[in-house]
């Protein structure tokens, strides 16, 4: 490819404009060099900041290593516990879901005094159980054999009452006993009619 040669008549004009163009190129080159220098300064600052961040991360990682070492056995012990809890929650979720309305009502309607009364009752349960087993249950087992005897005793008492009522003068004695009972009840502050 051929390079075009300038016209020799244009040469003086081209040579006169050459220094101006060279100075313009030098100015542009200086500005570009200044921008490159500023960019290099910024890159160096960024590198220093990155080095500082890396040092901090290394320090944090170094400090975290003993914690991780201590946590690993704990995590190993927690895994079976978590599995047991998941199993337990899986079994308890359906009944708890069913009981939720009842539990909510119980929580909304139970006063602190009622809770304290329940705690007191639970505290007395061992003694109540002991007495029930040692004192009440033996009596109740004999109640079946005592009932006919009590029935016979009531029949005899009625017959005796009828016989006493037929004795002369017993009506007056009975009336005095009833009046005395009424008077005793009045003195004690009870209503004799009740």
Per-residue confidence at 192, pLDDT binned at 50, 70, 90? low
Q: What's the mean per-residue pLDDT of the chain? A: 85
Q: Quote the domain boundaries for residue 73.
A: 13-102
Instruction: Assess if residue 164 is contained within a domain.
Output: no
Per-residue pLDDT for 189 more than 80?
no
* Mean pLDDT of the region 115-132: 93
Looking at residue 194, its pLDDT comes to 55
* Inside any domain, residue 178: no
Q: Please report, for residues 21, 68, 69, 70, 176, the alpha-carbon distance to residue 74 in angstroms, rounded to integers and kept in the order given.
A: 77, 10, 9, 7, 89
Say what the pLDDT of residue 111 is. Answer: 92
Instruction: Give the whole-number percent of the chain exceeding pLDDT 70.
Output: 92
Q: Is residue 44 part of a domain?
A: yes
Task: Give 130-179 pLDDT, tens digit per residue.
Answer: 999 998 888 888 777 777 778 888 888 888 878 877 778 777 888 888 89
In a domain, 148, yes or no: no
pTM for the model stands at 0.33
- One DSSP character per residue, 129-182 reads HHHIIIIIHHHHHHHHHHHHHHHHHHHHHHHHHHHHHHSTTHHHHHHHHHHHHH
Q: What is the mean pLDDT of residues 67-89?
A: 87
Question: Residue 10 has what pLDDT?
Answer: 74
Asked whether residue 32 is assigned to any structural domain, the reply reads yes
State how many domains the chain has.
1
């Amino acid at each position: 490819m051929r390079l075009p040669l300038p016209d020799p008549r244009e040469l003086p004009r081209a040579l006169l404009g050459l220094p101006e163009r060279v100075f313009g190129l030098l100015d542009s080159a200086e500005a570009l060099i200044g921008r490159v220098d500023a960019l290099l300064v910024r890159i160096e600052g960024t590198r220093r900041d990155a080095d500082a961040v890396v040092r901090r991360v290394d320090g944090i990682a170094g400090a975290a290593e003993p914690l991780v070492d201590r946590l690993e056995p704990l995590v190993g012990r927690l895994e079976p516990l978590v599995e047991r809890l998941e199993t337990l929650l899986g079994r308890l979720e359906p009944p708890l879901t069913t009981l939720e309305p009842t539990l909510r009502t119980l929580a909304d309607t139970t006063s602190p005094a009622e809770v304290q009364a329940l705690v007191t009752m639970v505290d007395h349960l061992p003694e109540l159980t002991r007495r029930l087993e040692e004192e009440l249950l033996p009596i109740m087992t004999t109640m079946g054999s005592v009932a006919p005897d009590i029935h016979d005793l009531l029949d005899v008492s009625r017959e005796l009452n009828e016989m006493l009522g037929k004795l002369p003068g017993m009506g007056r004695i009975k009336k005095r006993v009833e009046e005395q009972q009424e008077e005793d009840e009045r003195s004690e502050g009870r209503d004799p009619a009740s």
